[in-house]
Amino acid sequence: MAEPHRRYHGQAHVDALLAALDLDRAAFRWPEAAELAIWFHDAVYRPGATDNERRSAALLRDALGGLAPTEVLDVAEAMILATERHRLPPDLPPGWAGDVAAFLDMDMAVLGADPPGYDRYARGVADEFVPVVGEAAYRTGRAGFLRRTLSADAPLFHTAPAREALDARARVNMRRELLGLG
């Protein structure tokens, strides 16, 4: 979490998610899985890499296999892998979807933060990617991501409480960032 390239995906992000979990543990059937997913979901993080989530899930298994109940590890792994697209996988076992949805919403809650909080997030992501891909490519890629996300038929958040609390402000934040990218 302390790698020098991490500007958003570091310990502060983990701490924010742990605080959110502490406030809403009752939203989870497997809160222990959510806590493990928080610690491991960005354990492997290289800006632009396409296998961060799979490698993070593998690290969870390598580090905790045999030390935590299998079902808890399975649910945590599903949460981590779902962060690749921030969509609920269609083939989740019965009873897992609610936990995976709540975890994804916690991870993306920053989109609906107040403007200064969102701006810190956006700057952090830019600071992670620009050294890897360059300013122009980052602006183009980020603008494309924002446009696709805003125009998608799928909601930004998976649970009704997150949609009600965060969706409108998230869309305002994302449109504002998009305008700033030119």
Domain final position from 92, 109, 126: 109
pLDDT in tens, 97-146: 999 999 999 999 999 999 999 999 999 999 999 999 999 999 999 999 99
* Number of structural domains the chain divides into: 2
Q: What is the DSSP string of 62-75?
A: HHHTTTS-HHHHHH
Q: Are residues 104 and 139 in the same domain?
A: no
Q: Are residues 76 and 152 in the same domain?
A: no
Q: Are residues 92 and 118 in the same domain?
A: no
Residue 65 in any domain: the answer is: yes
Q: What is the phi/psi pair of residue 83, to 5°?
A: -70, -10
What domain range includes position 152? 110-181
Q: Which residues of 157-172 are buried (b: 16+ CB within 10 A; e: fewer)?
A: bbbeebbeebeeebee
Q: pTM of this prediction?
A: 0.94
Distances 168 to 16, 88, 136, 150 between C-alpha atoms, Å: 21, 21, 29, 11
Q: Are residues 48 and 85 in the same domain?
A: yes
pLDDT in tens, 54-76: 999 999 999 999 999 999 999 99
Q: Are residues 105 and 120 in the same domain?
A: no
